[in-house]
Structure 1
């Protein structure tokens, strides 16, 4: 008996005191957790677990706190051998199950049998990015902005807080947790089916993210994820929006870097999105099953990260070093979804039979192919007269400096001949005709700030500032003024001679 007691005392444990039920468990899974309940619960968890830390990473549009729980067996973020993992949920306020799953996950991770995970990972868990929207069960935040379309322009306080937090620790792995709603599409209703997986998983799809990371995600992580959920009796599939089949193509989710997954992925992180099945009314329809499904998917990621921590750590570190060195030399700025000859087995529910089924999708486009790429410049010159761009660069915390002219460098400026349009995933966006012209006369360096591309966010900078980029700043209403026909583009390129 004494030996058993001694053994128990030597096991590293986070749990002290009584086990706390989540607010959702307390109300018997009858309604979502309120912001006040969430705040109280997180504080209670930390009060009972001295190795668990709670950080307020920012405030919302309506001055609510955005919280991050930090799990570590040592000092968070300080062990260079450990993977740093970030999971964040409920960017969309009417997607409640991600938050509930995150709170269930927090309690699960405090159990003694799960402490082995923290030998290899440090985890930051942000259960609710958008409490303002959640309180009203609406998608957008208190400024009526879609947070998951804000990660490039980075104007909303919640998105800024998340990126500032990411920059602080430079997480190696991250997962953005959402819900998908198959019930409300009239096209799918007429087709007679709807998508029907408990969880959908999406990986990095932007081709500027190294193939090593994308291949590892698709070939190693995704099979592990599906097997893990199957063993736990949850169904899963690839996040593949579009359709209905044969009426419209089905693709993997967007390659745009304005969402949570791709905005961190473009910094060469191992980055994922999880989409849980939404309920009919969000509040009462299978909330327990949905929340536990989300929790299970998050656990799958943590288990995978712990098992593969050395390989993931090395892969992310080496690919980030390439960015800091200014590699790769070219960046894709216009892309399209294309076929690879494979069909996709899409799990569906039949409205006519009331049974689950599989549809083999023929027009399946899982590959993102670059159609326009450019040579990466050494950097960009932003005119100090443009407060819009200066503020944007500051929010992103880019490395900047004063430009120093060199005989090895030249400066180019785009001349905009005309502004055409193109289709991007069903939206019509600008597609300017431009020509890069060398500036022969000297510029006044003090009139500009210099943003070098040899930095972690280098590919993001190129994608944002190139006027022909279909993912760039000029495609946003507030920044469209930068692009005018028959005028010069205000951002200058610094390139090697």
Structure 2
């Protein structure tokens, strides 16, 4: 059982030894100020044949949208959906997933429709919401960036703060929650659900939550992939493995949004494969309506993980159960037909889930059944997303002040650890055995099987090093400095030459390989460089125009993930830094002069 407190206050001697920040009490119930959120929490009326929350379906009028012109992007318009999947299961399996009592009404969910909402329809929907809000609620449609094929990537800011800019949201003292949909273009239920939620937050049942929280909604993060009906972006990169490297404009757009608004919670909406590999390997079909997972990567803050599990996932599972929807931990299996192992979402700091966790946000993955089954059960899939995400919104409202306290503590604690103790460099999943229930493809009956299971809940640390005070980057590593700044990291430019105590990296081995992933290999265009290194201590000269990245900042653990070269996700392994001599670990507080604008 998890402790009911963030931690016991340490003795003065222990605090002096580790120089960490004193731990605040861990609230087992919402704080007194958060309890006020109960008054603003939507209360569903009791009525037969309806579900919570009632107005999230046909009980509200549909947002008016303008006629949609044909898209100029011709790869395959989402309005011309691929042929329906030939589902290899019986009516008995289909009977396990009845439609919900409520129906949702986005353009892509209209009766008789063969396609999901197009990029233009989503843009029209968001424009209509942004133009129809009334005080105290404010909405603003932001163009976060542009996809590789020139499609705008939109975010809708919904708030009752004094304004919709980042400063106004920060001054409101309300936590901001970011909702992201369709990073993978062939996973449409998240986008449809977020369109519904954007409407209900801006002008519907969920609007009272805005007295406690700010919300940013990104219904479709990968518009090119959605238009083509494919998982990856236009250049073949899986953007959900690109949140540390930021090689795609789509991942860069999300990184800049997160850096600007600093959300305390991020919900990443996906769908998972139902048949495919599971039928081929196990002669079974996926059973669960939702698969859930919080951030699980090396150096993830302990108390952010506690908040994710106790405050978010436990109520979310209950909310799903109350709607007769099933849930389990997220898992997948590799594309290798001979590999019968199931793996939770990975431990690498490259996914949105893990990178946002290293930004000290509660970061959750919500996956619904969907990949490979076309429009089958689409109302149930959207209902599952709406139910899970509404629970996350309610938690954020009820725990508003508690989340502020955790964020403040974690930011100060991480910043205080610079130059002290050790830091984990790399960790891997733990092999276990676990029983998982799937469905018989003919009878629809539950089939429980024991599987080899790679758990991300208990990571095994593979490598640690003394925690540096910061990192030095040569002037030639400007691309790395730019990516770090996009991630929200403070990077300082050296104005005058100096000398510092540092660990440089001596290379012991080198191997070129594909970047491994829990699904097999990450979709990427270039192999990675895996090196073995030995840190070598000594004084180094620091030239003018080079960079210093201090670790006495809240995103220090993200910096470690990017700059330690001998991990598969690092900037060096992925060729953003092309020379080991362009990075060093600074082992004493440097006496350097930096540019004023830093």
TM category (shorter chain) comes to 0.7 to 0.9
- Partners of 2:382 and 2:557 in 1: CA distance: 36
Match of 1:41 among 125, 135, 156: 125
- Partners of 1:470 and 1:279 in 2: CA distance: 28
Q: What is aligned with 1:7?
A: none
User: How do 1:183-262 residues align onto structure 2 when only pairs under 5 Å count?
Assistant: 183-185=275-277, 188-242=279-333, 248-262=340-354
Cα deviation, residue 159, structure 1:
1.0
- Partners of 2:252 and 2:293 in 1: CA distance: 23
Q: Does residue 462 of structure 1 match 2:560?
A: yes
Contact 2:504–2:584 (CA under 8 A) maintained in structure 1: yes
Match of 1:62 among 149, 157, 179: 149
Cα deviation, residue 380, structure 1:
1.3
Q: What is aligned with 1:32?
A: 116
- Partners of 2:451 and 2:385 in 1: CA distance: 26
* Residue-by-residue CA offset, 1:155-189 (whole Å, 9 max, x unaligned): 2111111111111111100011111113111x642
Q: What is aligned with 1:356?
A: 446
Contact 1:200–1:237 (CA under 8 A) maintained in structure 2: yes
Cα deviation, residue 444, structure 1:
4.2
Cα deviation, residue 360, structure 1:
4.8
Match of 1:316 among 388, 407, 416: 407
Q: What is aligned with 1:8?
A: none
- Partners of 1:42 and 1:421 in 2: CA distance: 45
Normalization by structure 1: what TM-score? 0.86
Cα deviation, residue 246, structure 1:
12
Q: What is aligned with 1:73?
A: 160
Q: Secondary structure in 2 aligned to 1:278?
A: strand
For the aligned residue pairs, the C-alpha RMSD in angstroms reads 3.0
Segments of 5+ residues of structure 2 without an aligned counterpart are: 1-39, 43-59, 64-104, 522-526, 590-598
- Partners of 1:153 and 1:113 in 2: CA distance: 39
Q: Secondary structure in 1 aligned to 2:403?
A: helix
Q: Does residue 22 of structure 1 match 2:109?
A: no
Q: What is aligned with 2:491?
A: 400
Q: What is aligned with 1:3?
A: none
User: What is the aligned residue count?
Assistant: 472
Q: What is aligned with 2:95?
A: none
- Partners of 1:135 and 1:473 in 2: CA distance: 31
Contact 1:29–1:288 (CA under 8 A) maintained in structure 2: no
* Residue-by-residue CA offset, 1:189-242 (whole Å, 9 max, x unaligned): 242213221111110111301222213322442221111011122221111223
Contact 1:246–1:363 (CA under 8 A) maintained in structure 2: no
Cα deviation, residue 133, structure 1:
1.3
Q: Does residue 437 of structure 1 match 2:542?
A: no
Q: Secondary structure in 1 aligned to 2:566?
A: coil
* Structure 1, 425-434 or 199-208: larger mean CA deviation: 425-434
Cα deviation, residue 495, structure 1:
0.5
User: How do 1:51-450 residues align onto structure 2 when only pairs under 5 Å count?
Assistant: 51-75=138-162, 76=164, 77-110=169-202, 112-185=204-277, 188-242=279-333, 248-282=340-374, 284-326=375-417, 329-338=421-430, 344-361=434-451, 363=453, 365=455, 366-403=457-494, 409-419=500-510, 425=518, 431-440=530-539, 443-450=541-548
* Residue-by-residue CA offset, 1:402-434 (whole Å, 9 max, x unaligned): 447888x51221111222689775669755332
Distance 1:358 1:55, change over 3 A: same
Contact 2:141–2:155 (CA under 8 A) maintained in structure 1: yes
Distance 1:285 1:481, change over 3 A: same
- Partners of 2:467 and 2:565 in 1: CA distance: 14
Q: Secondary structure in 2 aligned to 1:473?
A: coil
- Partners of 2:341 and 2:117 in 1: CA distance: 37
Distance 1:135 1:424, change over 3 A: closer
Contact 1:463–1:472 (CA under 8 A) maintained in structure 2: yes
- Partners of 1:480 and 1:84 in 2: CA distance: 33
* Residue-by-residue CA offset, 1:374-427 (whole Å, 9 max, x unaligned): 2221111111123443443444353122447888x5122111122268977566
Q: Secondary structure in 2 aligned to 1:392?
A: helix
- Partners of 1:204 and 1:463 in 2: CA distance: 14
